[in-house]
Amino acid sequence: MASFLGGPSMMPPSPVEVLEAAAQTVDRHLQADASYGDLTDQLNVPSHKQPSLSGLNDYDYPSTVDPRIGADCLSELSTVKKVPLPPELVEQFGYMQCNCMMGLFPEISRAWLSIDGDIFVWNYEDGGDLAYFDGLNETITSAGLVHPKHGVFQPHIQYLLCLTTPVDIVLLGVSFNRPHTGLDELVHSEMHLLPTPLFTLPTDNTHINSIMGTALGRIFMAGKDGCLYELTYQAEDGWFSRKCRKINHSASTLSFIVPSFLNFSFAEDDPLVQITVDESRHILYTRSEKGTIQVFDLGEDGKGTSRVAAVSLQTTVQNAALVARNIDRSNFKPLVHIAAVSRTESVNVHLVAVTHAGVRLYFTTNYFHHPRSRPSMLSLVHVRLPPGFSASASPQKPSNVHVAHYKRGTLLLASSQTEDNDVLWASSPDSFPFQNKLMETHATIPIDGRTWALTEVPLPSVSQRPADPNAPIRADPPLVVTEHMEPVRRFILLSAQGSHLMNKLRPVDQLRQLLIKNNGPDSEEVKDFFKLHLASQACATCLILACSKLAADKQVSEWATRAFFLYGGEVQINYGAPSIPPSTLGPASLSTTIGPTGYSSPAPISTTVMTPGPGLSSSFATPAQALHPSQMSTPNTAFGQQQQSLLQQQQQQQLLLQQQQQQSLLHQQQSQQQHQFPSFGQEVFYSPKHEGICLYLSRLLRPLWEYKVVSDVPFQNRQGQKQIFLASRLSGEELSWFLQQLSELREFITVNSQFASPLVTESLTATPLQRTSRLDVSTQLDEQTRRRQLVEAQIKHEKQSMQYNEELIQRICENLGLWKVLCDHQFHILASGLSQVGIAIWMMKLLTR
CA dihedral 615, 433, 668, 694 (to 10 degrees): -80
The single-letter code of the amino acid at 273 is V
Q: Is a pLDDT exceeding 60 seen at residue 662?
A: no
pLDDT band at 772 (very low <50, low <70, confident <90, very high): very low
Residues 431-470 pLDDT 10s: 999 999 999 999 999 998 899 999 999 987 554 444 455 5
Q: What is the dihedral of CA 774, 780, 786, 790, to 10 degrees?
A: 70
Rg (C-alpha) for the chain, rounded Å, is: 30
Predicted pLDDT of residue 251? 80
CB atoms within 10 A of CB 813: 16
pLDDT confidence of residue 415: 94
Looking only at the bridges linking them, the beta strands covering 594-595 and 722-728 are unpaired
Give the pLDDT score at 726: 79
For the stretch 124-143, pLDDT in tens is: 999 988 999 988 989 999 99
Non-local (6+) Cβ contacts of 36 within 8 A are 433, 434, 475, 477, 478, 667
Give the C-alpha separation, 57 to 68, whole Å: 17
DSSP 46: -
Pairwise CA distance, residues 724 & 548, whole Å = 40
The pLDDT value given to residue 72: 60
CA distance 506 to 625: 31
Given this model, what pLDDT does residue 838 score? Answer: 59
Which runs of consecutive H residues, i.e. helices, occur in 296-391?
313-323
Residue 201, φ and ψ in degrees, nearest 5: -135, 140
Question: 418 Cβ partners below 8 Å, 6+ apart?
Answer: none
The answer to whether residue 572 scores a pLDDT higher than 70 is: yes
710: confidence class by pLDDT, cuts 50, 70, 90: confident
For 346, phi and psi rounded to 5 degrees? -155, 145
Model pTM score: 0.83
What confidence score (pLDDT) does residue 754 get?
A: 56
Cβ 386 vs Cβ 380: under 8 Å: no
The enclosing H or E element of 498 equals strand 498-504
Specify the long-range contacts of residues 187-196, CB closer than 8 Å, at least 24 apart: 187/109, 187/123, 187/125, 190/129, 191/108, 191/110, 191/121, 191/129, 191/131, 192/131, 193/121, 193/131, 193/132, 193/133, 193/161, 194/157, 195/133, 195/135
Non-local CB neighbours of 397 within 8 Å, separated by 6+ positions: 357, 358, 386, 387, 388, 389
Neighbour-count burial for 4-38, b at 16+ CB within 10 Å, e otherwise: bbeeeeeeeeeeeebbebbeebbebbbebbebbbb
CA distance 607 to 620: 7
pLDDT of 594 > 90? The answer is no
Instruction: Please tell me the distance from the alpha carbon of residue 337 to that of residue 342, in angstroms, as a whole number.
Output: 16
- Measured CA to CA, the distance from residue 583 to residue 35 in angstroms comes to 14
SS3 content of the chain, % helix, strand, coil (to 5): 30, 25, 45
Please tell me the predicted confidence (pLDDT) of residue 723: 74
Look at residue 164 and give its three-state secondary structure.
strand
| Strand residues in 370-429 grouped as ranges (E) | 379-384, 401-407, 410-416, 421-428
In this model, does residue 836 exceed pLDDT 90?
Answer: no
Q: What pLDDT, on a 0 to 100 scale, did the predictor assign at position 114?
A: 92
Q: How confident is residue 571, by pLDDT bands cut at 50, 70 and 90?
A: confident
pLDDT band at 699 (very low <50, low <70, confident <90, very high): very high
The pLDDT score that the predictor gives to residue 522 is: 92
| Rounded distance between C-alpha atoms, residue 506 and residue 485, angstroms | 11
Check whether 153 has a pLDDT greater than 70.
yes
Higher pLDDT, 266 or 165: 165
Give the H or E element holding residue 738. Answer: helix 732-751
35 versus 353: which is more confidently predicted?
A: 353
Q: How far apart are CA 232 and CA 211, in angstroms?
A: 13
pLDDT at 258 over 70: no
Q: Is the pLDDT of residue 787 over 50?
A: yes
What H or E segment, with its residue span, contains residue 47?
none
Can you give the pLDDT at residue 240?
44
Burial class of residue 493, CB neighbours in 10 A (0-12, 13-18, 19+): buried
pLDDT digits (tens, 9 = 90+) for 321-361: 999 999 999 999 999 999 999 999 999 999 999 999 999 99
C-alpha closest to that of 612 among 566, 671, 560, 668: 566
Q: How confident is the model at residue 71 (pLDDT cuts 50, 70, 90)?
A: low
How far CA 571 is from CA of 313, 536, 761, in Å, comes to 57, 12, 7
**Nearest residue to 726 via CA among 708, 744, 743, 739:** 708
In the prediction, which pLDDT does 229 show? 96
What is the average per-residue pLDDT within 69-77? 69
pLDDT digits (tens, 9 = 90+) for 390-419: 877 777 889 999 999 999 999 999 999 888
| Maximum C-alpha span of the chain | 101
Q: What angle do CA 189, 191, 193 make, to 5 degrees?
A: 165
How many Cβ atoms are within 10 Å of 471's Cβ, its own excluded? 10
pLDDT of residue 648: 45
B/e letters for 513-535, b = 16+ CB within 10 Å, e = fewer, are bbbeeeebbebebbbbbbbbbbb
Q: Which of 306 and 752 is assigned the larger pLDDT?
A: 306
HSE-CB for 531 with a 13 A CA cutoff: 23
The 10 Å Cβ neighbour count of residue 76 is 23
Q: Give pLDDT, residue 831.
A: 73
Question: Would you call 215 exposed, middle or buried from its count of C-beta atoms within 10 A (0-12, 13-18, 19+)?
Answer: exposed
Q: Using alpha carbons, select from 535, 558, 536, 533 the residue that is nearest to residue 547.
A: 558
Q: Which amino acid is at 194?
A: L
- Name the pLDDT band for 799 (thresholds 50, 70, 90): confident
- 328 contacts: CB under 8 Å, gap ≥ 6: none
- Nearest of 755, 745, 841, 793 to residue 26 by alpha carbon: 745
DSSP secondary structure of 816-839: HHHHHHHHHT-HHHHHHTS-HHHH
CB 569 within 8 A of CB 687: yes
What does the pLDDT read at residue 843?
58
Per residue in 489-534, pLDDT (tens digit) is 999 999 989 999 999 999 999 999 999 999 999 998 898 898 888 8
Mean pLDDT value across residues 360-381: 92
Confidence of residue 604 (pLDDT cuts 50, 70, 90): very low
Which burial class, exposed, middle or buried, applies to 691 when counting CB atoms under 10 A from its CB (0-12, 13-18, 19+)? buried
The mean predicted confidence, pLDDT, of the chain is 78
Q: Are 456 and 405 in contact (CB under 8 A)?
A: yes
pLDDT for residue 166: 94
pLDDT of residue 214: 95
Least confident among 237-246, 250-259, 334-343? 250-259
Average pLDDT on 596-617 reads 33
Amino acid at 669: Q
Residue 640 has pLDDT above 70, yes or no: no
What pLDDT sits at residue 565? Answer: 92
How far apart are alpha carbons 416 and 423 in whole angstroms?
A: 6
Angle (nearest 5°) at CA 70 between 68 and 72 = 130
Residues 720-743 have pLDDT tens digits of 777 777 788 888 889 999 999 999
Q: What's the pLDDT score for residue 183?
A: 63
Closest C-alpha among 655, 657, 702, 552 to residue 29: 702
* pLDDT value of residue 663: 42
Report the pLDDT averaged over residues 526-555: 90
| Residue 151 confidence class, pLDDT cut points 50, 70, 90 | confident
User: Does residue 105 carry a pLDDT above 50?
Assistant: yes
Strand partners for 81: 501
Q: State the sign of the Cα–Cα–Cα–Cα dihedral 35, 40, 42, 46.
A: negative
Cα–Cα distance for residue pair 461/486, rounded to 1 Å: 8
Position 660 pLDDT exceeds 60: no
Across 538-552, average pLDDT: 91
**pLDDT category, 234, cuts 50, 70, 90?**
confident
Q: Give the residue, 275 or 460, on which the prediction is more confident.
A: 275
